[in-house]
Amino acid sequence: MTSPLRHLLGIEELSARDIVQFLDTSEVFFDVSRRRVRKVPTLRGKTVINLFYEASTRTRTSFEVAGKRLSADVINLSVSASSVSKGESLLDTVKNLEAMHPDVIVVRHASSGAAHFIARHTRAAVVNAGDGTHEHPTQALLDAFTIRRAKGRLADLVVTIAGDIAHSRVARSNAILLRRLGAQVRFCAPRTLMPVGVETYGVEVFDDLGRAVEGADVVMMLRIQRERLTEALIPSTREYARTFGLNARILERAKPDAIVMHPGPMNRGVEIDSDVADSPRSVILDQVEAGVAVRMGVLYLLAAEAGQSPLS
């Protein structure tokens, strides 16, 4: 089984069927990472280039581990933004990589739409590993994968996403995916961090975290970055923690079996209290584990030969 999709640029371009196919395929790979020999020959002879223009530990490592466990040749290219300004254009970089015949280019870039741009200029499959404030599709897939494992389904769940929605590609990709699979989505943030026109995602908007969490099945907290202070978007991390931070008292208002998620890296004591992050209800490390399986699934669906089975 191979996907008709050439690239994974965003959840926006995926149908509910495509999403389920990614999730189901990833289930096949989940156990590979728990075996004693954590490697299958599926993508032997394939080349995956991780092209990272933004610092990332978790995502880059996750893609690298996923590629290697599939036996692909994985090349990591970390390009710092400062060298870009002096160096060659993204178009020339892509043309040069193209000349080396990669099968997959995994790209993280600070500019929204960069993955789309690359996809227009390469024959390789392009995986968007986060573009600006646009999308982070593999994060949404691994989040959905984690929720589905914990709850058995996605439809009709109430998912609260709280934090810096305005600057979050994770919130965008998650909202689209969860809505497409029938979940209810709530967004909660101070108005300075809530983007204009967010209602078009079909989400409910809340100003109060307690009310946003009321009866939720899933509470997903987003990282707040320190730049938001100098941009006059929030006055202090202290006030942010007091009004929009998740603590045990607020979490009590969620369903008794609600799970807590965070895409990382966490600011403990700011958007999430340590006792919540480390509680049995936290699935934050499950998300990381799911990340490898989901990225194996994505690489397989985009790069495997037609008829190639997942595990051999």
Partner 1 sequence: MRIVLREGRVIDPASGRDEVADVVIEDGRVLRVGVGAAGDAREGDRDTRVVACNGRWVVPGFVDLHTHLREPGLEYKEDIVSGTRAAAAGGFTTVCAMPNTKPVNDTRAITEMMVAKARSHGVVRVHPIGAITRGQLGRELTEMADLKDAGCVAVSDDGRCVTDAAVMRRALEYARTFDLPVVQHAEDHALTAGAQMHEGAVATRLGLKGWPRVAEDHIVARDLMLAASTGARYHLAHASTAGSAALLREARGRGIRVSAEVTPHHLTLTDEAVMGYRTACKVNPPLRERGDVDALIDALADGTLDCVATDHAPHAAIEKDCEFSEALHGMVGLETCLALLLDLVRAGRVAPGRLVDALTSAPARAFGIDAGTLREGARADVAIIDPDRVWTVDARRFRSKGRNTPFEGRRVTGCVERTFASGVEVYTFVDAAEVAR
Would you please indicate which residues are annotated as catalytic (active-site) residues?
Answer: 58-59, 86, 108, 136
Q: Which helix (H) or strand (E) holds 136?
A: none
Using the rule CB under 8 A, is 172 a contact of partner 1?
A: yes
End-to-end CA distance of the chain: 13
Q: Beta-carbon neighbour count of residue 252 at 10 Å?
A: 11
Query: Strands (DSSP E) along the chain, which ranges?
Result: 47-52, 73-78, 104-109, 125-131, 158-162, 184-188, 204-206, 218-221, 259-261
Kindly tell me which of 200 and 312 has the beta carbon lying closer to partner 1.
Answer: 200
Query: Strands (DSSP E) along 140-240, which ranges?
Result: 158-162, 184-188, 204-206, 218-221
Using the rule CB under 8 A, is 228 a contact of partner 1?
A: no
CB of 110 to partner 1, least distance (A): 8
Smallest Cα–Cα separation from 224: which of 242, 203, 248, 210? 242
Between CA 34 and CA 259 the distance in angstroms is 23
Using the rule CB under 8 A, is 8 a contact of partner 1?
A: no
Number of residues that bind partner 1 (CB under 8 A): 25
Please identify which residue in 135, 217, 271, 289 interacts with partner 1, judged by CB under 8 A.
Answer: 135
Kindly tell me which of 132 and 269 has the beta carbon lying closer to partner 1.
Answer: 132
Distances in Å between the alpha carbon of 305 and those of 148, 301, 308?
28, 9, 5
Smallest Cα–Cα separation from 42: which of 27, 32, 55, 54? 32
CB of 273 to partner 1, least distance (A): 29
Stretch binding partner 1 (CB under 8 A), from 26-34, 190-198, 244-252, 275-283: 190-198
Using the rule CB under 8 A, is 229 a contact of partner 1?
A: no
Using the rule CB under 8 A, is 81 a contact of partner 1?
A: no
Between CA 267 and CA 49 the distance in angstroms is 30
Please identify which residue in 58, 68, 116, 268 interacts with partner 1, judged by CB under 8 A.
Answer: 116
Using the rule CB under 8 A, is 180 a contact of partner 1?
A: no
Please identify which residue in 152, 197, 280, 307 interacts with partner 1, judged by CB under 8 A.
Answer: 197
Residues in touch with partner 1 (CB under 8 A):
12, 89-91, 109-114, 116-117, 131-135, 169, 172, 195-200
